[in-house]
Chain A
Amino acid sequence: MELLGTTAGLWLAVVVSGLYHGLNPGMGWPLAVSAALFEGRQSALWGALGMLSIGHFIAMIGILLPFAVMFMLVEYQREIQIGAACVVIAMGLFLLWYRKHPRILARVKPSQLALWSFLVAMAHGAGLMLVPIFLGLCGLDELDMGHRAALDLMGTNVLMAFAVGLMHTAAMIGSGGLLAWAVHRYLGLNALRKTWFNLDIMWALSLIVVGGLGLWAGLTLSA
């Protein structure tokens, strides 16, 4: 808890969530292995990972940016933080209750990896998981800088959103990419059968935990 109140702690959370998303086969690393095997060359693996990361990054930014803009309303920061935390918790509860896979994902063509990665991240609330962490970072930043012009603040927040999205996506593609490379190069496809766990419940619980921490941070923020 202590660590999560610090800038370093929050950045660590950004990276860890990225590693976690990346290792989940449901976020797409097996598709990179498949691409490399189809093309018969390892470079196809990097190409596919690139497309997956573009989709994932856009999904992160798409969720973070609106909050970055909202957060410039300094006097409502506490309310925004609490509201966002509730949305994240609600998404976690929804995923716990609604255990089916959204069918729209099955309509995406196998060649549209970036689009698929974007949609799958959105459907699983991957971006939402970052929101409380992101708002925590913006809030700390704000405390450091003291009161500033709203526009200036928004600029900082937007930059922060990009930084968080990039850092998270880099960690995500780093861990997923490493696993994809190892499976392609050394472990073989059967590793896929052995390493894939059903993370649905854990994923939903992660959202609830992150949301809960955000809620706690918001409630304890001195108004």
Chain B
Amino acid sequence: MNVRPDKSFYPSPKDAMEAPVEKVAFTLMLSPDFSQPDGLAIVDVDPTSKTYGEIVHQVIVPNKGDEFHHFGWNACSASLSPLSGHAFVERRYLIVPGIRSSRIYVFDVKEPLKAKIHKIIEPEEVFEKTGYSRPHTIHCGPEGIYVSTLGGGGEDGTDGPPGIFILDCETFDIIGRYEIDRGAQSKHYDFWWNLPRDYMVSSEWGLPPQFENGVVPEDLLSNKYGHVIHFWDLRARKVTQTIDLGEQYQMALEIRPAHDPVKTHGFVGVVVDTTNLEGAIFTWWQKEDGTFEAKKTITIPPHPAETDDLPPLLQGFGAVPALVTDIDLSLDDKYLYVACWGQGEMHQYDVSDPMNPVLAGKVEIGGIVKKTKHPNGKEFGYGPQMVEISRDGKRVYWTNSLYSTWDDQFYPGERGAAMVMANVGEDGSFELDENFWVEFPEGYRSHQIRLEGGDCSTDSFCYPSV
């Protein structure tokens, strides 16, 4: 407990953009063949430092086979609302779930160079207290830390639907399930919300048998992955509306609401449209009457490709889809960054008018066919994937692994971990930084990045930007 609110909490997104520049980043490392335990890498991102771009500390966990994926903070700027009741909680712990093992690690990163494991929640406890498995997205919210899961009960996670459970934000005890009425929600992936407006939006990926051993082509071609988004009455804990984007919009994943809580719109990325292999972004928004609507506002066409350049999975199509696997929105709600993991491109859209996004910039790196090298001449394996933006919007970081078994299907063979950064100029120019390149230890892949003090997919703000 602090005497003052944590210095990294800001009332509005605009205030947070003025925050000090991040000096360290936290990046998850996973062992794709489960031969080594996963870990948390602390990366020096201070350009004035001698160890700039190097892993300056790592915490390797005591278990194997966790498969680290997404993670989040125990507390964020939402604590500045009196409604949250947690004004004096420290932003100090990173909650890191093992998506494969269902084990949850709590890392104490108060001193990043001495980061250590604070608590481990064993899978049995998660199963017993929640009936869910395969924990995924973390957000700090009303009543504690919300954790979305991808699996229900049972060995293969199909006994009952997956959902969200809540952790105490100080003791990290599991409090219990979130849902009172889940409506039509049968699968799960991401979720986020607008706290003052009291709604939550959640998305669906697939059930564990549909992803754990790789993408199931028959399920994808018969549109059996998630293609709906759910709107919840956040504090009443019930689904008020479900929007089906259309069954061909397979894998609607990342939910990115506008950061400014006055705004009532947000975005969701769709991995692939099975009718034409396009990637897509939908804009969703709340109407005057409180109900929601969604409309496709960005499409990314597939690139034609020679059969020989394609992995077996895609050879029948003669083209490489964008595969929109992650999206992230800058704190001023101006730029939406879209990872095209298949094509090896990171797109920057100007979404000042959320209904009419404009492609403003593009970085090419990696890719199934193009295999574009980094400006420093090094090979960038896989494609741009988990993307994170600095709070001031001037630096965009990303890594390259999607999910162990899926990496191997789309990019056969071991291609190595990577983490790069692109600079965004005042005019919106978007270019890779030649000098930032992180070398990871042998045998690891890299996944989500979190930035010191918060970033663009962490904090929820309760006061408008004015």
> Residues on A close to B: CB < 8 A?
25-28, 30-31, 33-34, 37-38, 99-103, 105-111, 116, 120, 189-190, 192-193, 196-198, 200
Which residues 182-226 of B sit at the A interface, judged by CB distance below 8 A? 195-198
Q: How far is the CA of A196 from the CA of B1 in the complex (A)?
A: 13
Chain A neighbourhood of B316, CB < 8 A? none
Is the pair A111, B198 in contact by a Cβ cutoff of 8 Å? yes
Chain B neighbourhood of A25, CB < 8 A? 82, 87
The contact sample of 27 A-B pairs, CB cut-off 8 A, is: A30-B80, A30-B82, A31-B81, A33-B463, A34-B196, A38-B196, A38-B262, A100-B170, A101-B85, A103-B144, A106-B85, A106-B235, A107-B143, A109-B235, A111-B198, A120-B82, A189-B11, A189-B15, A190-B11, A192-B5, A193-B5, A193-B9, A193-B80, A196-B80, A197-B4, A198-B2, A198-B88
> Residues on B close to A: CB < 8 A?
1-5, 7, 9-12, 15, 80-88, 142-144, 170, 175, 195-198, 235-236, 261-262, 462-464, 466
Min CB gap A84→B, angstroms? 27
Q: How far is the CA of A106 from the CA of B84 in the complex (A)?
A: 6
Is the pair A38, B82 in contact by a Cβ cutoff of 8 Å? no
Is the pair A198, B82 in contact by a Cβ cutoff of 8 Å? no
A189-B15, A192-B80 given; 4 more Cβ-contact pairs under 8 Å: A106-B142, A106-B235, A197-B3, A198-B87
A198 in contact with B463 given A190-B15, A192-B11 (CB within 8 Å):
no
Q: How far is the CA of A129 from the CA of B407 in the complex (A)?
A: 62
Q: How far is the CA of A27 from the CA of B85 in the complex (A)?
A: 10
**Chain A CB within 10 Å — which of B11, B12, B82 has the most?**
B82
Is the pair A193, B143 in contact by a Cβ cutoff of 8 Å? no
Is the pair B466, A26 in contact by a Cβ cutoff of 8 Å? no
Chain A neighbourhood of B462, CB < 8 A? 34
Chain B neighbourhood of A28, CB < 8 A? 82
Min CB gap B164→A, angstroms? 15
Chain B neighbourhood of A190, CB < 8 A? 10-11, 15
Is the pair B1, A105 in contact by a Cβ cutoff of 8 Å? no
Q: How far is the CA of A137 from the CA of B423 in the complex (A)?
A: 67
Is the pair A109, B11 in contact by a Cβ cutoff of 8 Å? no
Is the pair B235, A37 in contact by a Cβ cutoff of 8 Å? no
Across the interface, name the chain A residue whose C-beta is closest to B83: A110
With beta carbons under 8 angstroms apart, the residue of B4, B12, B196, B198 that contacts A189 is: B12
Is the pair B3, A193 in contact by a Cβ cutoff of 8 Å? no
Q: Which A-B residue pairs are the 6 nearest by beta carbons? A: A101-B85, A189-B11, A106-B142, A106-B143, A37-B464, A198-B88
Q: How far is the CA of A48 from the CA of B12 in the complex (A)?
A: 19
Chain A neighbourhood of B2, CB < 8 A? 198
Chain B neighbourhood of A38, CB < 8 A? 196, 261-262, 464
